[in-house]
């Protein structure tokens, strides 16, 4: 699954700098996660970094965007190839 930010977001900017895939963008009025770039930190950390730093616990799994571990690994690999 990709992650989403709920309406409880306080736009504190804590999550954006933690995302290794630059998947989090400032929205109006809350931050947004680009599901095409979110790998739930697969390949970087054991747990999603954004969830770890969110002071209001407003980042959750997106029930409408289910992805397997294999799909997340594939997306991670694709993003790595973009950077080369």
Give the pLDDT score at 1.
66
Q: Which of 58, 47, 54 is nearest to 9 (CA)?
A: 58
- Judge contact between 53 and 61, C-beta under 8 A: no
Give the pLDDT score at 16.
95
Mean pLDDT by 10 residues, the chain (84 residues): 92 95 94 96 95 97 93 94 81
Say whether 59 sits in a helix, a strand or coil: strand
User: What is the CATH code for 3-83?
Assistant: 3.30.70.20
Domain residue limits, the chain: 3-83
pTM over 0.85: yes
Overall residue count recorded for the chain in this entry? 84
Task: Report residue 59: phi and psi, to 5°.
Answer: -105, 120
Q: Which of 27, 35, 48 is nearest to 2 (CA)?
A: 35
Give the pLDDT score at 21.
95
């Amino acid at each position: 699954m990709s992650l989403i930010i709920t309406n409880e977001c306080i736009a504190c900017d804590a999550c954006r700098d933690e995302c290794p895939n630059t998947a989090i963008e400032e929205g109006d009025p809350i931050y947004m996660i680009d599901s095409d770039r979110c790998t739930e930190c697969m390949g970087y950390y054991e747990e999603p970094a954004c969830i770890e730093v969110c002071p209001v616990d407003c980042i959750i799994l997106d029930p409408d965007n289910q992805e397997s571990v294999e799909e997340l690994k594939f997306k991670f690999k694709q993003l790595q190839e973009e950077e080369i």
